[in-house]
Structure 1
């Protein structure tokens, strides 16, 4: 793959149209295969879930936005 640098400052010196062209050429490389999402499990089937006390304390001690 060829890399072009117009101003010596990498992508910062390139025009938007050139960047769009680069993205369009790369898009076929990033195709994600279609997969079906798993069906949600009804709440009535979820039972017997236990959370260890250490995990409860860990989450309780965290701030709202994480630590």
Structure 2
């Protein structure tokens, strides 16, 4: 059987109602994964965070982070 349902073309200028409708139509296509409970990590395995110098300079230059 041929699906003759006509869909309107994708529009960038839509409203919130159109976006919610699009999401509602797509929701059945995705299955939610089972809830995964993360296992605790031993503190001896945590050695800190290393940030590349370029990223540190970028964050330092942002007023929300450096002031």
TM-score range normalised by the length of the shorter chain: 0.3 to 0.5
Instruction: Give 1 or 2 for the bigger CA radius of gyration.
Output: 1
TM-score, L = length of structure 2: 0.44
Larger relative contact order (Cα-Cα within 8 Å, sequence gap ≥ 6): 1
TM-score, L = length of structure 1: 0.44
